Amino acid sequence: MNWRVKASLQKILSATRLGDQLNHIPATLKKEYHQNVVRYQFHECLRKYDYTNLDLNQPNYALEIGTGYSIISPIILTLLGFKKVVTVDIDKDITFKTFQKQINFLNQSEFIDNISQRSVFSAKEIKNKLDFIVGCTSLEEALSFSNIIYVAPYTIEDIEDEEITFDYIYSQVVFEHIPPKFLEVLFEKFRSWLKKGGFTVHTINFVDHFTNPGFFQDKKISEYNFLRFSDKQWKFWAGNSIAYTNRLSYIYYHELFKKNDLIILDFIGENYKPSISLALDQVHEDIIKKYKVSPDLTKLTKYQRGTFIAQNI
Ligand SMILES: C[S@@+](CC[C@H](N)C(=O)[O-])C[C@H]1O[C@@H](n2cnc3c(N)ncnc32)[C@H](O)[C@@H]1O
């Protein structure tokens, strides 16, 4: 389907108070939605954590930027042995109903055994904790038992009010939704929020989200189609709270880490879906202007997704 159909619908929905939630409903109608979310969160949470060499026998504190619709990832971190996890989002999308559905899937030996291999707790202890969480009668009770602080919507001051320096700051497909100006603020804060030796691990999706799989997917355009448009044109189509993406590639984030003295230990670039190439002369000059130094254009379309693993050394 032409991407402009989805863009128009999202534009209309974003004008309503419940726009983001209404936009999310179609995805949740699939029978195995919650099971798939748990699998995805489980895989991505442990994958990112495994890039660190944190010693969980010491007290460790984590900060997640961009909770989204699932609290499974913070729960897994506390089951590993993190003392506290702060998770923040600009939208309050976690509900007790969704939480209940997802936590039941996590409470299975397949997941518990895997977590216990890395955890300070035994599989039996993790099972006991999950049984308790499954029995909680409110989200507040479950979060409090799990030592999770969920702040949505949040401000920088909310995070600083916790008076915690973190061993681990992470995000999963969130940075591409953050405007460059706020990214600058966040990265500067990461430097002061991270303990010396702490890790910061972020997976970022670099593609035009109108090519994401689903009913409205436009299969005819390049996954870098959005690079063809001026800022003004793109603001018209996607400058709303549901569709916003910053259209930045991995080289932009590379500079941000460097500028804030966060040492990149590794960057794992991935191409996870079939590609439709975009001729480089199609890249709009407004895209090029986003970079301090004129970028090598081939790098703007090199990776569809990537994970930065950095440390405050
Ligand atoms: C694609 S979702 C990913 C959510 C979750 N991390 C996951 O993997 O399912 C992007 C999330 O980023 C959040 N977000 C957007 N801008 C943000 C910001 N400035 N700070 C924190 N979260 C933000 C959105 O509200 C949304 O929940």
For residue 279, the CA-to-ligand 1 centroid distance in Å is 30
pLDDT of residue 25: 74
- What integer pLDDT is reported at residue 30 of this predicted model? 78
Number of domains within the chain: 1
Assess whether pLDDT exceeds 80 at residue 26: no
User: At residue 193, does pLDDT exceed 90?
Assistant: yes
Q: Is 209 in the pocket of ligand 1 (CB under 6 A)?
A: no
pTM of the predicted structure, to 2 decimals = 0.95
Q: Does residue 18 have a pLDDT over 80?
A: no
| HEC profile of 39-54 | HHHHHHHHHHHHCCCC
For residue 80 and ligand 1, the question of a CB distance below 6 A is answered with no
The pLDDT value recorded for residue 19 is 63
Is 102's C-beta closer than 6 angstroms to any atom of ligand 1? no
- Mean pLDDT, all residues of the chain: 95
Domain range enclosing 203: 3-311
CATH assignment of the domain containing 253: 3.40.50.150
**Whether pLDDT at 21 is above 80:** no
Q: What is the pLDDT of residue 213?
A: 87
- For residue range 250-291, list pLDDT tens digits in order: 999 999 999 999 999 999 999 999 999 999 999 999 999 999
* Closest-lying ligand 1 atom to the alpha carbon of residue 88: 21
Give yes or no for residue 182 CB within 6 A of ligand 1. Answer: yes
| SS3 letters across the chain | CCHHHHHHHHHHHHCCCCHHHHHHHHHHCCCCHHHHHHHHHHHHHHHHHHCCCCCCCCCCEEEEECCCCCCHHHHHHHHHCCCEEEEECCCCCCCHHHHHHHHHHHCCHHHHHHHHCCCCCCHHHHHHHHHHHHCCCCHHHHHHHCCEEEECCCCHHHHHHCCCCEEEEEEECCHHHCCHHHHHHHHHHHHHHEEEEEEEEEEEECCCHHHCCCCCCCCCCCCCHHHHCCHHHHHHHHCCCCCCCCCCCHHHHHHHHHHCCCEEEEEEEECCCCCCCCCHHHCCHHHHCCCCCCCCHHHHCCCCEEEEEEECC
Query: 224 pLDDT exceeds 90?
Result: yes
